[in-house]
Amino acid sequence: MPRKLLVAIEIADSRLVHMLQEKLGEIPNLEMTQWFDSAGGKGSLADKGSPDIIVIDDLTDGPSIFNRLAPIRQKFPHAAVFVVSGNQFPQHIVEVMKAGVSEYLVTPINDKILQSAVEEVRLQRASVGEISRGSIYSFISSKGGLGSTVIAVNTACAMARYKDSRVALFDMSFQSGDAGVLLDLYPQTTMSDVVRNYHRLDSSFLLAAMTKHSSGLEFMAAPNSPEECDIIKGEHVSHVLDLARKIYDQVVIDCTSMSINESNIEIFNASEVIFLVTDMSVPAIRNCSRVIKLMQKIGIDKTHIEVVVNRVIKGGALSLNDVEKNLDKTAYWLFPNDFKGVVSSINKGEPLLVGNSGMPLAKNIAQFVEKLKSPESSRGFRGIRGTFGRAI
Ligand SMILES: Nc1ncnc2c1ncn2[C@@H]1O[C@H](COP(=O)(O)OP(=O)(O)OP(=O)(O)O)[C@@H](O)[C@H]1O
Ligand SMILES: [Mg+2]
């Protein structure tokens, strides 16, 4: 599984800590830990995982910043140190930076400066293979035809609307991949060509093999005929995803429905989150529960598995409560039933967010992507509002 960026905060002022935690919480794929009693200098928390970033304050009435920096730099030589300070005296800033600090953040902290400083560290850590740059999100239907392809394709399109994101969509539903139909894109080069040239496969080869869609996303299609699928093995999938994660900020994968085959296992292992798509019918929920158990059996941690419910209709035979009780899991997101929007999008070969952006499912998927990008901002909202507009 890709490791998240770990940020350790050693700051005395609890209000400043809180503010920083809020700002960092807006950045995806990041974990925080708080250090007390100069723990950083003692290195005593290193067993909890070495942080990628250590944020310390610069107190005028406490120990000198230079005395604190030296042991921290010695105990955590690979971590980037950020200093938060109200002191804007240029000579002081220069001296602190010279002491090996990566970022000097003047209070009140500017969100953009903090974000780009964090992303720069992520990039450096990714380039030395310490951490992955991109997040892999995979989608698998618990039973055939529940909407994994519709959701994966439109999620990737919604992600590509953010100009700061480079997004890839892989159709890894190898036997019957139809993601290209939804994009009206039929590439000459598919996953089977990549595998045939496996000996030459590196980042630039993969980049050249991807096909650009008008939405901005880059697409890798499933093989053109089912016979070509046999050559694709788990190790190929794993290597392709390793490379993709280095090139792209977000990688979306449409998986073969229901199956725990060799390729899907590699996809699950590489995924930040595996979205298991179900609807509110009894057979789909049964299968969903079965697939969750199978995933756990093969060692996928349940924190990486999220259930999303598609084609939600209020007042159906089963309530959301029934679904969640049966699965013993809270649904991460609810996608509305939007027959008109989906049919029009498929017929036109235009993803919802490209040519049908006013449709309910298009708006919902845009919000789903917002939640993925900034988990804190949704505050419990899961895509559909209940009575009186409350989040359900
Ligand atoms: N939210 C939705 N509202 C209305 N119809 C939907 C919705 N999601 C999916 N559908 C319908 O369900 C059909 C199947 O969806 P999709 O192809 O995405 O499922 P799948 O899980 O990828 O299927 P497969 O197992 O064949 O790969 C679509 O053609 C579309 O008509
Ligand atoms: Mg599909």
pLDDT tens for residues 202-244? 888 998 999 999 999 999 999 999 899 999 999 999 999 999 9
Please state the atom number of ligand 1 nearest to the C-alpha of residue 337.
3
Which residue is listed with tokens 């002022």? 13
* Confidence band for 43, pLDDT divided at 50, 70 and 90: low
Hey, whose CA ends up nearest to atom 11 of ligand 1? 147
Q: How many A from CA of 282 to the centre of ligand 1? A: 17
Please state the atom number of ligand 1 nearest to the C-alpha of residue 141.
21
Residue 339 pLDDT greater than 50, yes or no: yes
Give, as one character, the DSSP assignment of residue 247.
H
CATH topology of domain 5-127: Rossmann fold (3.40.50)
CA–CA separation, 338 and 359 (whole Å): 8
CA–CA separation, 30 and 361 (whole Å): 29
Q: Taking all residues of the chain, what is their mean pLDDT, rounded to a whole number?
A: 90
- Report the CATH number of the 135-389 domain: 3.40.50.300
Q: Name residues contacting ligand 1 (CB within 6 A).
A: 141, 144-150, 173, 257, 310-311, 335, 337-339, 342, 346, 361
- The ligand placed nearest to the CA atom of residue 347 is 1
Domain positions in the chain are 5-127, 135-389
Residue type, 125: R
What local confidence, expressed as pLDDT, does residue 81 receive? Answer: 97
What's the predicted TM-score (pTM) here? 0.75
The backbone torsions φ and ψ at residue 377, rounded to the nearest 5 degrees and listed phi first, read: -70, -25
End-to-end C-alpha distance for the chain, whole angstroms: 30
Q: What are the DSSP calls for 325-373, one per residue? A: HHHTS-EEEEEE--HHHHHHHHHHT--HHHH-TTSHHHHHHHHHHHHHH
Average of per-residue pLDDT across 363-383: 87
Average of per-residue pLDDT across 178-193: 96
What local confidence, expressed as pLDDT, does residue 314 receive? Answer: 81
Pairing assessment for the beta strands 167-172 and 53-57 based on DSSP bridges: unpaired
Which residue is listed with tokens 């595998």? 195
Same topology for domains 5-127 and 135-389, yes or no? yes
* Confidence band for 364, pLDDT divided at 50, 70 and 90: very high
Please state the atom number of ligand 1 nearest to the C-alpha of residue 254.
22
137: left (phi over 0), alpha (psi -120 to 50) or beta: beta
What local confidence, expressed as pLDDT, does residue 1 receive? Answer: 47
